[in-house]
Amino acid sequence: MSDKILELQHVTKDFGGLRAVDDVNLTINRGELRCLIGPNGAGKSTIFKLIMGVYPLTKGKIFFKGQEITKMPTWKRARMGLSIKMQIPGVYGELTIRDNMRIAAQNYVNPKELDDEIDRLINFVGIQDLGNEIVKNLSHGQQQWLEMAMALASKPDLLLLDEPVAGMGPEETEFTAQIIKKINDSGITIIFIDHDMEFVRRISQKITVLHYGKLFAEGTIDEIESNEEVIKIYLGTE
């Protein structure tokens, strides 16, 4: 089996006259915990949506587990093992936590094991006491954790996390970092987007920098932080 789990070849996306993603080549290996960084508008979230098939590509190809998925509908990609936690929590606000989890899990879990699996996942992200709570009443952090549990319910091979700690305090961020490490340790490949460099340093093995839709740099956290071009565009010059 190939080590590559995801491969983007010359991926380009135009929105009208705006080129949001420009000829990006990106390879992610199985088991990686890769971070995408870049200034606002660099195309990070757009790349996630291209990987999930929310937007069609303008040019290029995407391969997942060795199979081309460029034109595959989103739901089939999800069933192949791709999963995502969105930037703005993509939870069902009017439903309870358990109902949210059921919707996320029922396509992947044997009906007899569904309740146990829901318990296991909400316990894993620390919201087990809130199962019957309506989701719109939860805090932002709790919604983020719920969505992470929902994203895990499909037993994915590759998990995309779009700003998993946005809006969280230090303790919540630390807890989230532990969750992400545990998910990765269980064998799930993760790509995540974040702006919090402390958080990135805490968990990431390899970083990809995007700028104006292009792949700008790639390397370990030390390599990226010492890259003068990256410092100039993103990390600040002082």
Partner 1 sequence: MNKLNTENTVAALLFVYLLIYPFISSEYNIMNMSYFLAMIFLSLSLSLIWGYSGIFSFGQTAFFGVGGYAYAIISMNFNNPNLTLLSFILAILIAGAFAWILGYFMFYGGVNDVFVGLITLCVTLVLATFMAQTAGSQWKIGDVLLGGDNGINNIPSLTFGSVTLYGTNLYYVILIVLIVIYILLRKFGSSKFGYSLIAVRENRERSQMFGYNIPFLQTLVFSLGGVLAGLSGVFYAIWGNYMSPSSMAISAAALPVVLVAAAGRKNVTAAVIFSLIYYMFAQYLSVTGTEYAFVILGFVLLIAILLVPQGIIVTIFNLIDRYVFKKS
- Residue whose structure tokens are 């700028």: 211
Q: How far is the CB of 78 from partner 1 (least distance, A)?
A: 4
Which range, of 4-12, 31-39, 122-130, 148-156, touches partner 1 by CB under 8 A? 148-156
Which range, of 3-11, 84-92, 122-130, 180-188, touches partner 1 by CB under 8 A? 84-92
Residue 236's Cβ-side half-sphere holds a number of Cα atoms within 13 Å equal to 3
Q: How far is the CB of 152 from partner 1 (least distance, A)?
A: 11
**By CB under 8 A, how many residues form the interface with partner 1?**
25
Pairwise CA distance, residues 70 & 191, whole Å: 18
Q: Counting contacts by CB under 8 A, is residue 133 touching partner 1? A: no
Which range, of 8-16, 102-110, 167-175, 192-200, touches partner 1 by CB under 8 A? 102-110
- Residue whose structure tokens are 């990431």: 204
Q: Counting contacts by CB under 8 A, is residue 92 touching partner 1? A: yes
- Within 8 A by CB and 6+ apart from 32, the residues are 5, 189, 190, 191, 205, 206
Pairwise CA distance, residues 131 & 99, whole Å: 9
Binding mask 39-68 for partner 1 (x = CB under 8 A): -------------x-x--------------
Q: Counting contacts by CB under 8 A, is residue 90 touching partner 1? A: yes
Q: Counting contacts by CB under 8 A, is residue 99 touching partner 1? A: yes
- Within 8 A by CB and 6+ apart from 55, the residues are 13, 46, 49
